[in-house]
Amino acid sequence: MHTIRFRMNPSTHLIPFLCLLVLTAGGESANQKDMGPITCVVQTNLQLDLSKHGLVKVPSDLPWDTQYLDLSYNNITYLYKGNFGILSELCVLKISHNSLKDISPSAFQDCPRLQLLDISFNALKTIPDLPLTSLRFLDLSENLYNSYRLGESYRSLVNINSLALGSPWARSVKVTDFSPLSAAPLRSMQLGAGHEIDGYELSSFTCLLALRELTLKMSFCQKPEVLKDILQDLDKIDVNTLTLIKFVPNQCNVSRDIGKGFKGMNGLLNLTFKDTWFSSSVLTKVVFNIIQSSVQTLSFLNITFAQDTSEGVQIHSIPGYNNTVHLKVLSFDTIHHHQYNFPLISINATLFPHLTHLKFSVTGISIIPCNLISALPLLKVLDLSDNLLHDHGLWWPACSFAHVFPSLKELYLRNNKFKNLQFISNHTYEMPSLDTLDLGSNVITLRKNSWPPHLTNLALSSNVLGDAVFDHLSPFIQTLNLTQTGIMQLTQNNMSQLTALRQLFLSFNNIKSLPDDLSTPQLVELHVDQNSISTFHQRAFEGLTGLRRLKAGNNPFACNCDLYWFVTSFNKTLLIDWPLDYACYSPPDLAGMALEKYLPSRLSCDPWAQAAVAVMTILVVLTAAGAVFYAFDGAWYLQMLWVWIRVKRRSHQRAQRLGEAFEYHVFISYSQKDSQWVDTQLVPYLEGEQLKLCVHERDFTPGHWIIDNIIRCVEQSYKTLFVLSNNFVQSEWCNYELFFAQHWAMGIQQDSLVFILLEPIPADSLPKKFLKLRKLLWQQTYLEWPGENSHRQTLFWTRVKALLKVSHQSTTLERVAKEVEPELVRE
């Protein structure tokens, strides 16, 4: 049993990340061009890749909304009705490289949206019936059926655009094979599995009226006349692109004229030979016929060349051909040489007056004959990449190159052995139209040189050049490829001389940072990926106002605050490789993390935010402290502390004055709200007893701070009398007075406090800060006012008098302490 892990996450369905699907099917049968017809837009989160999972049947628990399902490289044998029953959204299904033997016609009946079906490389013994009206791309190649006959159900493929068929057992094409598709919009077809063709019934292809591109993967060594019949039919239905894969097998010796069918074709424009053997005699005959047709683009891709005639390939003239050769593009890409000797190829280049593109790649040539290239006056693009050419192999010293490439615009010399940049740059002056020169992957050495103004696109990539390369460039260059050239440093000096530069490619170098003073507003595209850049400074981009594309991934980014602006505020639409190629390299604990995910809090990186937060924090702390302060009577204690300090100071001064007489007998502390009782009862009574009173307000010195007044009164009074009531408890000033008097009493006049309780105060109702008062109330060390009209009033007043009336002469602390009733204040 295998467990299948779905890549889909249901929650991500909510974030529709749309992307146009780039499809790649297995096998050679499907190339990028064939994918054109798919019209469904597949969401990345609805793609399911179950390839190489060892499956033996289609899993039954696939998410119903799967749009793309890849089951290739498994071991699934059968597809039945219901296998894809619930996948009503399925658009792309790949089951190539399995061991499918049979597919039920109803297997896909509930997948009405299926547009691409790849069942190549399986073991199907018959071509299955697939009545899929939406199907646009169907690959049935590399199976085991023995004929190409399509069933009547193929009439329902009304949208089919591309079809691939091929089986080693199906070697002939019958006139009825494709008739069910006669009304279909089939544009592109591939046929065959690389074997010799047995037969072709005339007009087999002519029913495919929409066909424009045909790929025949079959050999015509034994029956070359079959090719003539096929080509004849293709011309009738305007096929313009023909690719012949394995045209002839290795060692094929054809005596008859295998290419005769090409001569006179007038619809074919593109012709490609791929993966095939060519002897010089066959090649001569084929090319000779092709150039007498409408073909404009002729390509040879991965061919093996064997010289079987002593004169090699010889094409000098075309007897009896009155038209000019239409060939515009001739391309040889990858030629294997069967023999070790140089092949003999002799072609009269003046036969090809319209040739504009010539490619000669991976051929092993080391010398280009100067008479060949000089005969191609209209040549615009010459691609000699991937050969063994050196400086003199292209510019042979014996030749004059004065008027060699009058129209040449692009010269590709990648991956050769070119060396002397001065020599090459000298010769670019001989090509008046040359604007693009690619010298990548050579062994270029720098010497003093100069470039013509017409050369605007220069590639020197993959050469060992170093920073010195900047001394060898021209101000006319617009596009410069210095990928992998060992550059360590880029400076504003270096950039400022490249005044026309619009595209600069510096990937795969060792640049550590972009200069801060970069001022290159004309620069549109910059690649600095795969360097040693650890951070980007905002200033570096301020001078790059014209920048539209930046590739900067795969650098060792230091994920710290310096990069914060880049992650958060840099315009990511400029980044062509974001976010995949951006990862943290340091610090070690973040190494490997996607830069996109590196989101330091704004706080940690933004100084303004830091300042704002600091202010906020201080405010919060202060508020909290304030709240605590308020809740725990902080202000009160603070004020008391202040009072205490003053009292201490004054008591020190007072110590010398102890012998002096007091100014008052009694200081009365009471709440303003109890003033009625004090004014009408207490004060008249006490004054009637000849006691001198300091009464709050009346005897306070105006203009003094109230606390000073209180302190003065307490100090100048022999006794302090407190009128306790609920009002008193709530009065702030009274509390000061009590506090102060208590401490005064503690320090100097232990027994100077007298308390009158005007009304009951539950001791528990008092705030904790009135510790002493609570104690007093508990200990009942007070005189209780018996209330109005009580006969006990007399006793009360007597006791008050007794407590207050002490020897007027007593002045010293010791005396006073002894005379006062000891129970009043106990600490």
Ligand X SMILES: *[C@@H]1O[C@H](CO)[C@@H](O)[C@H](O)[C@H]1NC(C)=O
Complex with ligand X: residue 143 or 240, whichever CB lies closer: 240
Decide whether 537 or 673 has the Cβ nearer to ligand X.
537
By beta-carbon proximity to ligand X, the closer residue of 180 and 259 is: 259
Distance CA 390, CA 396 (A): 10
Stretch that binds ligand X, among 183-191, 203-211, 296-304, 649-657 (CB under 6 A): 296-304
At 717, list the tokens: 């009074």
Name the amino acid, one letter, at 138.
L
User: Closest CB to ligand X among 516 and 821?
Assistant: 516
As to burial, measured by CB atoms within 10 angstroms (0-12 exposed, 13-18 middle, 19+ buried), residue 201 is: middle
Strands 18-19 and 42-43: antiparallel
Burial class for 676, CB neighbours closer than 10 Å (0-12, 13-18, 19+): exposed
Shortest spacing between CB 443 and ligand X, in angstroms: 14
Q: Which is nearer to ligand X, 481 or 749 (CB)?
A: 481
Report the residue number, 77 or 781, with the smaller CB distance to ligand X.
77
Is residue 31 a contact point for ligand X (CB under 6 A)?
no
Element (H, E) at 139: strand 137-140
With contact defined as beta carbons under 8 Å apart, do 4 and 59 qualify? yes
- Is residue 437 part of the contact set for ligand X (CB under 6 A)? no
Q: Are the beta carbons of 93 and 118 closer than 8 angstroms?
A: yes
Please state the closest distance from residue 331 (CB atom) to ligand X, in A: 8
- At residue 451's C-alpha, the angle toward residues 449 and 456, to 5°, is 145
Amino acid identity for residue 46 in this structure? L
Least distance from C-beta 173 to ligand X, angstroms? 23
Q: Does 248 bind ligand X (CB under 6 A)?
A: no
CA distance 516 to 525: 18
Residues 728-787 within binding reach of ligand X (CB under 6 A): none
Residue with tokens 């499907």: 30
User: Does the footprint of ligand X cover residue 498 (CB under 6 A)?
Assistant: no
Q: Which of residues 249-278 bind ligand X (CB under 6 A)?
A: 251-253, 269-270, 275-276
**In whole angstroms, what is the distance from residue 192 CA to residue 196 CA?**
9
Q: Kind and range of the H or E element at 721?
A: strand 717-724
What's the DSSP call for residue 48?
A: E
What are the angstrom distances between the C-alpha of 258 and each of 283, 292, 312, 764, 769?
10, 15, 17, 121, 118
Which residue, 76 or 783, has its beta carbon nearer to ligand X?
76
Contact stretch for ligand X (CB under 6 A) within 57-65, 151-159, 248-256, 579-587: 248-256
Q: Which is nearer to ligand X, 497 or 680 (CB)?
A: 497
Site string for ligand X, 38-57 (x = CB under 6 A): ------------------x-
User: Beta-strand (E) ranges in 342-439?
Assistant: 345-347, 357-361, 381-383, 410-412, 436-438
Query: What DSSP designation does 15 have?
Result: S
b or e along 357-371 (b: 16 or more beta carbons within 10 Å of the residue's beta carbon)? Answer: bbbbbbbebeebebe
Q: Does the footprint of ligand X cover residue 422 (CB under 6 A)?
A: yes
Q: Of the two residues 46 and 495, which places its CB atom closer to ligand X in the complex?
A: 495
573 binds ligand X (CB under 6 A): yes
From the list 157-165, 172-180, 280-288, 415-423, the region that binds ligand X by CB under 6 A is 415-423
Distance CA 782, CA 737 (A): 17
Which two three-digit tokens encode residue 581?
Answer: 């190629």
Per CB under 6 A, the segment of 355-363, 489-497, 600-608, 801-809 that binds ligand X is: 489-497
* Contacts of ligand X in 302-361 (CB under 6 A): 302, 304, 308, 316-317, 320, 322, 348, 350-351
- Amino acid identity of residue 678, one-letter, is V
Minimum separation from the CB atom of position 611 to ligand X (A): 26
In the block, tokens 């110590």 appear at: 655
Min CB(479)–ligand X separation in Å: 8
**Site membership for ligand X, residue 493 (CB under 6 A):** yes
Is 485 a binding residue for ligand X by CB under 6 A? The answer is no
Taking the least distance from each CB to ligand X, the nearer of 401 and 770 is 401
> Which residues sit opposite 189 in a β-bridge?
163, 214
Q: Are the C-beta atoms of residues 200 and 172 closer than 8 Å to each other?
A: yes
The residues in 648-707 that bind ligand X, with binding defined as CB under 6 A, are none
Verify binding: residue 198, ligand X, rule CB under 6 A.
Answer: no
Instruction: State the Cα–Cα distance between residues 315 and 345, nearest whole angstrom.
Output: 8
The answer to whether 454 and 433 have CB atoms below 8 angstroms apart is yes
Residue 497 found at the interface with ligand X (CB under 6 A): yes
Q: Which two tokens stand for residue 476?
A: 């006319």
Burial of 759 (0-12, 13-18, 19+ CB in 10 A): middle
Give which of 240, 246, 189 is closest to 217, Cα–Cα.
246
| Parallel/antiparallel/unpaired status of strands 381-383 and 78-79 | unpaired
Return the range that interacts with ligand X (CB under 6 A); candidates 245-253, 533-541, 802-810, 814-822: 245-253
CA gap 726, 282 in Å, rounded: 125
What would the x/- binding string for ligand X be over residues 501 to 520, using CB under 6 A?
A: ----x---------------
**Structure-token match 């605590």, residue found:** 628
Instruction: Determine, following the binding rule CB under 6 A, whether residue 297 of this chain makes contact with ligand X.
Output: yes
Tokens of 787: 């209330």
- Residue 510 Cβ vs ligand X, minimum distance, rounded to whole Å: 15
Q: Is 809 in the site for ligand X (CB under 6 A)?
A: no
**Residue from 96, 161, 188, 240 in contact with ligand X (CB under 6 A):** 240
- Nearest-Å Rg of the Cα atoms of the chain is 52
> Closer to ligand X at the Cβ: 346 or 798?
346
Residues near ligand X (CB under 6 A), total: 45
Cβ-contact 718, 751 below 8 angstroms = no
Least separation, in Å, of the C-beta of 48 and ligand X? Answer: 21
Using CA atoms, how far apart are residues 97 and 106, in angstroms rounded to an integer? 22
Among 209, 345, 399, 574, binds ligand X (CB under 6 A): 574
CB of 322 to ligand X, least distance (A): 4
CA angle 120, 123, 125 (to 5 degrees): 110
Stretch that binds ligand X, among 141-149, 458-466, 638-646, 647-655 (CB under 6 A): 458-466
Stretches 37-45, 203-211, 456-464, 532-540: which one binds ligand X (CB under 6 A)?
456-464
Residue 459 sits in the site that holds ligand X (CB under 6 A)? yes
Q: How far is the CB of 461 from ligand X (least distance, A)?
A: 4
Q: Which residues partner with 594 through β-bridges?
A: 583
Residues 357-396 that bind ligand X (CB under 6 A): none
Cα separation, 216 vs 243, whole angstroms: 6
Binding of ligand X at residue 470 (CB under 6 A)? yes
With binding defined as CB under 6 A, does residue 538 bind ligand X? no
**Minimal distance in Å, beta carbon 407 to ligand X?**
19
The binder of ligand X chosen from 77, 651, 726, 810 (CB under 6 A): 77
Alpha-carbon gap, residue 106 to 90, rounded angstroms:
15
From the CB of 75, what's the least distance to ligand X, in Å? 4
User: Of the candidates 49, 80, 82, 99, which one interacts with ligand X according to CB under 6 A?
Assistant: 99
Sole window of 14-22, 62-70, 418-426, 731-739 interacting with ligand X (rule: CB under 6 A): 418-426
Interface with ligand X by CB under 6 A: which range of 402-410, 454-462, 552-560, 684-692? 454-462
Q: Which residues bind ligand X (CB under 6 A)?
A: 56, 75, 77, 99, 240-241, 251-253, 269-270, 275-276, 297, 302, 304, 308, 316-317, 320, 322, 348, 350-351, 420, 422-423, 426, 440, 459, 461-462, 470-471, 481, 483, 491, 493-494, 497, 505, 548, 571, 573-574
